[in-house]
């Protein structure tokens, strides 16, 4: 029983540590994902127009 409790405590600590390390990366990814699709300027515009022309032919 003591081994189970010890294992659960270690697992909980690892979960908390992983959450603390991944939270900033997740927040940055979430903030970047708010844009809709590829930006329509520069290389993104060229890619968009190219893909649209290929889809029409």
pLDDT of res. 43: 77
pTM above 0.75, yes or no: no
Q: What is the extent of the structural domain holding 46?
A: 2-56
pLDDT tens across 8-48, in order?
A: 999 999 999 999 999 988 888 887 776 656 566 677 788 88
Question: Number of folded domains in the chain?
Answer: 1
What are the distances in angstroms from CA 24 to CA 14, 18, 34? Answer: 17, 11, 16
């Amino acid at each position: 029983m003591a081994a189970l409790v010890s294992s659960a405590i270690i697992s909980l600590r690892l979960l908390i540590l992983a959450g603390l390390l991944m939270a900033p990366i997740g927040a940055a990814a979430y903030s970047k994902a708010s844009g809709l699709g590829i930006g329509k300027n520069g290389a993104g515009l060229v890619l968009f127009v190219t893909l649209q022309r290929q889809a029409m032919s």
